[in-house]
Amino acid sequence: MKRLRFILQKEFRQMFRDRTILAMMFMLPLIQLGILPLAMNLDVKNINLAIVDKDHSTYTQKLISKIGASGYFKIVATAPAYKKALVTLENGTADIILEIPASFERNLVREGSQPLNVTADAINGIKSGIGSAYLLTVIRDFNQEIRLTGNGQSIAAPAMIDMASAAWFNPYEKFTWYIVPGVLVLLLTLVGGFLSALNIVREKEIGTIEQINVTPIKKWQFIVGKLVPFWVVGMIVLTVGLLVARLFYGIIPVGSLLLLYLLAAVYLVALLGFGLLVSTISNNQLQAMFIAFFFIMIFVLMSGLFTSVDSMPTWARSIAAGLPITHFMKAVRMIILKGSSFKDVSSVFIIEGLFAIGLNALAIWNYRKTQ
Amino acid sequence: MDPVINHQPPSPATAETAIECRELTKKFGDFIAVDRISFRVQRCEIFGFLGANGAGKTTAMRMLCGLSYPSSGHATVAGFDVYRQQEKIKQHIGYMSQKFSLYDDLTPLENIKFFGGVYGVAEKEIRERSHDLVRSLGLDREANKLVGGLPLGWKQKLAFAVALFHRPRIVFLDEPTGGVDPVTRRQFWDMIYEAAEKGVTIFVTTHYMDESEYCNRVTIMVDGKIEALDTPANLKHRFACDNMDEVFYRLARTARRSDS
């Protein structure tokens, strides 16, 4: 135990002497959490629309002004012919073309129906999909209006199911509320994962590990000595991150802060165990960097940060379930946004606890004092 | 350059054994780095391990320090087996590797404290002795500066002092004076003699043949095998040479392995 104290003292000294680590500890959560969630906004806005209006009637004027008033569309071009409009789609100025045929108003009044043509640039699938859907909603609304008030004669409105929805836990459906806790978890994972993955291997590279291996130090003492300082860094990153979430985005955890910290404490031990395992496997920092990057990429894309884990294919869901970050991400959102209690996330504690024990045991086992 | 202290080797009849090897071998695949070496080192002896680059000196030393598993053969260090009791060996030895491997981002005092603590030296004792040690190394003014900024010679002296700080029975020095200036080398050998006088067994590898003259006994390794093992005087007599340089040249020129 006394020996562990000397080891910790040395590790803390080295860490606090490293200005980069100190700077990253505060700047990373401050800047990245301050900026990234705003840029990562998945709400589709500013859809560039080109309109081919061959009718030039009152109805088309009404329709176009309705589209403009919706707030989602920017009318970037009005072209006399579809071919001309297609050019704007091809060169990227427009995302969607709406073509209104010449007989629009007449056909609507006389025959009560008139097809419209919507062409979308599907390279950005999300934008084209959601944009077209918005456009169709606007057109459908317009359709309702003219059917009710339209051509002098009153038409009975068809039976309609009207839906009223309420958004719970994120009442304004703010994107940042969803993404900020996710980015916070991501930052914690990046900082902890990379710092720990690069540490032991650095000692291998500069040769100091040899001097350590020739001492009677116990393997677990060495690993714990590496783990504790990074754990402290992780907790600081979490604290700065929560402050940023509060000051920049007004996100105040609904659930217990203590619970959040306890869960993060266990998760960090698991994550650092992973990093240290990578570090014991690698022979140099470049290798460690690549291995860590390989896994952290998977962590980021499969954890449910951007995409819902529930909508992944079954095989992908089972991979996601095998990552410590997935469970932590979900639990953090639950605690911050929903105010979940210990009972709600107790299974996550057990899972992270098992990961923590397993990964650290592997790191200790894989660290060899005698080759 | 004679060392100031004239160290008398222990007489073979009464001395205790510090290190013993029988047919110790290390293979890396087909390559036999160390080929069935056998020898016995007595307590308080200064035992020199000579050989060209790639002769297998460092590999042999790493096995004895418990850093590497032997492929076959037997060896005990401080009475402990190299296969099963590496951690016990490590408690009783000091080690200084070829490459400087103290922490550059710690001060001399912090390095001493860390390694002393890891070896189980009490904090109070560390505090008392480390300041004296730093002073005797002439590092008083650098005691609180980072080690990374020190000249190599000072670093090596510090590394040697750290290897001895926990009062090990045996200390392994892997080319301790490589790249060090003649004055510092001289001081270094004074330190080695001083340690041997206090009862520490010294196991040292070197390239410098003048240094081999300071050893009580010398082993010359060629291509993983021990070609000669005796006192410097006997070796010179046997090969009818004036100095160790010539002895070494006669043995080592048959080597087929060069720089590894």
What CATH number does the domain containing B236 carry?
3.40.50.300
Residue found under tokens 């005691």 = B143
Q: Can you read off the two tokens belonging to residue B202?
A: 């010294």
Return the pLDDT at A230: 93
- A225 near A303, Cβ under 8 Å? no
Is A211 at the interface with chain B, CB within 8 A? yes
User: Tens digit of pLDDT for each residue in A136-172?
Assistant: 888 888 887 777 665 555 555 556 666 777 777 777 6
Look up residue B180 and give its two tokens: 């060090």
User: Is residue B77 within 8 Å of residue B19, measured between CB atoms?
Assistant: yes
Calculate mean pLDDT across residues A341-353. 89
Q: Has residue B46 been placed in a domain?
A: yes
Q: Would you call A362 exposed, middle or buried from its count of C-beta atoms within 10 A (0-12, 13-18, 19+)?
A: middle
pLDDT value, residue B11:
58
Residue B259 DSSP one-character state: -
Cβ partners under 8 Å of residue B84, min gap 6: none
Homologous superfamily assigned to A47-149: abc type-2 transporter like domain (3.40.1710.10)
> Which residues of A are less than 8 Å from B97 in CB distance?
207, 210-211
**Is A207 part of the contact surface with chain B (CB cutoff 8 Å)?**
yes
The chain A residue lying nearest B69, using CA atoms, is A371
> What residue of A is the nearest CA neighbor of B171?
A214
Domain boundaries, position B208:
17-103+168-252
- Dihedral angle computed from the Cα positions of residues B65, B71, B74 and B76, in that order, rounded to the nearest 10 degrees: 10
Residues of B in contact with A7 (CB under 8 A): 114, 117-118
Instruction: Please tell me whether residue B237 adopts helix, strand or coil conformation.
Output: helix
Q: pLDDT higher for B150 or A173?
A: B150
Spatial CB neighbours of A11, under 8 Å, sequence gap ≥ 6: A225, A226, A228, A229
Q: How many domains does chain B have?
A: 1
Residue type for position A8? L
Residue in the structure block whose two tokens are 């097809």: A115
* Tokens coding A320: 């996601």
For B113, the closest of A6, A18, A370 (CB atoms) is A6
Query: Residue B219: helix, strand or coil by DSSP?
Result: strand
Q: What is the structure's pLDDT at A61?
A: 87
Rounded CA-CA distance A370/A210 in Å is 10
Of the candidates B2, B139, B18, B29, the residue with the CA atom closest to the CA atom of residue B89 = B18
pLDDT tens for A270-321 read 999 999 999 999 999 999 999 999 999 998 888 888 777 888 888 988 888 8
Distance separating alpha carbons of residues A29 and A24, to the nearest angstrom: 8
Task: Determine, for residues A369 and B103 on separate chains, whether the beta-carbon distance falls below 8 Å.
Answer: no
pLDDT reported for residue B9: 60
- Number of helices and strands in chain B (H, E): 9, 10
DSSP summary character for residue B148:
G
| CA A190 distance to own-chain centroid | 14
Say how far apart CA A292 and CA A312 lie, in whole Å.
24
Q: Is the confidence at residue A179, as pLDDT, over 80? A: yes
- The strand order across the sheet containing B170-174 reads B93-96, B170-174, B201-206, B46-51, B217-222, B225-230
Q: Which of A270, A273, A265, A208 is nearest to A238 (CA)?
A: A265
Low-confidence stretches of chain B (pLDDT beneath 50): 1-5, 259-260
Instruction: Round to whole Å and give the CA distance between A117 and A128.
Output: 14
Question: Is A9's Cβ below 8 Å from some Cβ in B?
Answer: yes
Supply B21's token pair.
């090897």
pLDDT value, residue A344: 87
* Model pLDDT, residue B1: 46
Q: One-letter amino acid identity for B57?
A: K
For the stretch A15-27, pLDDT in tens is 888 888 888 888 8
By the CB < 8 Å criterion, does A1 face chain B?
no
Tokens 């970050």 belong to residue: A325
Chain A residues near residue B103 by CB distance under 8 angstroms:
10, 14, 208
CA distance A129 to A122: 7
**End-to-end distance of chain B based on CA atoms, in angstroms?**
31
A residues 10-69 lying closer than 8 A (beta carbon) to B? 10, 13-14, 17-18
Where in chain A are the domains? 2-40+177-366, 47-149
Distance (Å, rounded) from C-alpha B95 to C-alpha B159? Answer: 9
pLDDT at A93 over 80: yes
**Residue B231: other Cβ atoms inside 10 A:** 13
- Polymer length in residues for chain B: 260
Least confident of A108-112, A194-198, A253-257: A108-112
Coil/strand/helix, residue B111: helix
Contact A7 B114 (CB under 8 A): yes
SS (H, E, C) chain A: CHHHHHHHHHHHHHHHHCHHHHHHHHHHHHHHHHHHHHHCCCCCCCEEEEEEECCCCHHHHHHHHHHHHCCCEEEEEEECCHHHHHHHHHCCCCCEEEEECCCHHHHHHHHCCCCCEEEECCCCHHHHHHHHHHHHHHHHHHHHHHHHHCCCCCCCCCCCCCCCCCCCCCCCCCHHHHHHHHHHHHHHHHHHHHHHHHHHHHHHHHCHHHHHHCCCCCHHHHHHHHHHHHHHHHHHHHHHHHHHHHHHHCCCCCCCHHHHHHHHHHHHHHHHHHHHHHHHHCCCHHHHHHHHHHHHHHHHHHCCCCCCHHHCCHHHHHHHHCCHHHHHHHHHHHHHHHCCCHHHHHHHHHHHHHHHHHHHHHHHHHCCCCC
Contact A14 B106 (CB under 8 A): yes
Closest CA to B211 of B252, B244, B180: B244
Confidence of residue A227 (pLDDT cuts 50, 70, 90): very high
Q: What pLDDT is attached to residue A153?
A: 53
Predicted local distance difference test score (pLDDT) of residue A345: 86
With CB atoms and an 8 Å threshold, state whether B102 touches A7.
Answer: no
Q: Tell me whether residues A14 and B115 touch, CB distance under 8 A.
A: no
Strand partners for A211? none
Q: Note the pLDDT of residue A10.
A: 92
Per the CB < 8 A criterion, the answer to whether A332 and A312 are in contact is: no
**Test mutation, B114, B160, B171, chain A, max A CBs within 10 A:** B114
Q: Is the pTM of this model over 0.95?
A: no
* pLDDT number for residue B260: 42
Q: Amino acid identity of A327?
A: H
Q: Which residue of B has its CA nearest to A207?
A: B101
Size of interface A-B (CB pairs under 8 A): 80
